Amino acid sequence: MGHVKIITYRRFLKAVQAGNQGRKFMNPDGQSTSNVANNIKRKLNEEGYDVYSDHGEAGEFIGTIAVSYEEKTEGKLGREEEISQLDIAVVEEKPTMEGNLRKAIALIEIEETTDNPKKLIGDIFTVLMGKSIFLPGKKREKVDVNSWTTLIIIGKEPSRKDQLVAHKDRNIYIQDKAKNAMSALETANAKIGNIIVESISINGGLDEKLDAILEEKLMEKIHEAIRRYISIKNMQQ
């Protein structure tokens, strides 16, 4: 009869972290995000935009999108320097005399399992409190965040239909109060020009129809962010 080895949760967690050093552990909770990000990437690439994602198979545009309290422009970023991570970043890259300039059009966090207001508020302010955002890749290059950037937070829509109106009102309240508080932060990321908080039906990648709805709604918000970005860019020219 074989022996059963009992380990503590702490030792188990250390083993998982060691086996996934340098990358975010891919769990079932991110399956809808991964499915949607792959489709969004193909569509937006055709429109001339780059899409970085924290979920999916290894590749140039896949990896940790890290929010840091450090102001450095590129280089190695330790986990202790991170205060948050994002799921998706929509970026326009333009060559300049100093090198390629990457402007963040939309920064996206998707909560597949919750619409808890404390979680959504935390998602917003851990981004706004940061001084820089770094894209995946060996150089960990910084993406430029400013008034043209839209922060999009997606939570899971409540299953009870009688709660939908209340949740929508609460989301509007959260996004409006977050906008009002931005000026007090005086951080680089607090220059973000717009915040959108939405609730959408999500089922962890187990329902293709719900994933299609998530993709459609997210593309709608991304195109809203793109139109806003283009308008600001035209005014600055």
Q: What phi, psi does 197 have (nearest 5°)?
A: -120, 120
What are the extents of the domains in the chain?
A: 24-236
Alpha helices in 48-191, H assignment, sequence order? 117-128, 164-185
Give pTM, 2 decimals: 0.82
| Residue-wise pLDDT tens digits, 66-121 | 999 987 666 566 777 899 999 999 999 887 766 678 999 999 999 888 889 999 99
Task: Please state, in angstroms and as integers, the Cα–Cα distance from residue 102 to each residue in 92, 155, 171, 175, following that order.
Answer: 6, 27, 30, 26
The pLDDT-based confidence of 29 (bands split at 50, 70, 90) is low
Q: Is the pLDDT confidence value at 24 over 50?
A: no
Among 174, 165, 164, residue whose Cα is nearest residue 196: 174
